Structure 1
């Protein structure tokens, strides 16, 4: 296997850009004082994005996947995103295992 120099440079440039963007966000975030309303709005963004990604699955697949999407939606109201997604995956796996 050979490594193409252009590909490696592109990967490194993307990594640097990603790290710089995240670090800049952290630095700017420390300087800003947000109102409680703005903090509530920002807290609602991750579950909204998760639902935007998961919702098409609910309408394009079978009952097990639709129920799994509902589990994700309910779990996302109380849990962080990763456990909510894991709960949905577990629900789909169990429903498929039992033939639903």
Structure 2
């Protein structure tokens, strides 16, 4: 068997264990402390920041335009799905047109 196969299997198993472990730990408590809840609520924004920051700092015109459109739609209250879909569509289009 290929080494790549085993790397994928190990990644899948470790991902499952971290998700299941977190669920098992949190399910043991009747109430979650407000600080823990605030930290868990901040995770999606932190993950999004790690994806967006490199594109904002080192991206070309296509990436900057897609980020700007996504930000405008987000600030207008358009929702997460329209923001992601429109920014992604614009990014794909501009990368295709600009090379």
Q: TM-score range by the shorter chain?
A: 0.5 to 0.7
Note if 1:42 corresponds to 2:40.
yes
In 2, Cα distance between equivalents of 1:36 and 1:78: 29
- Listed as ranges, the gaps of 5+ residues in structure 1 are none
In 2, Cα distance between equivalents of 1:62 and 1:8: 34
Q: CA offset at residue 10 of structure 1?
A: 4.8
Aligned residues: 93
State the TM-score, normalized to the length of structure 2: 0.59
Q: CA RMSD in A?
A: 3.4
State the TM-score, normalized to the length of structure 1: 0.59
Cα 1:17–1:49, aligned 2, differ >3 Å: closer, same or farther?
A: closer
Note if 1:21 corresponds to 2:23.
no
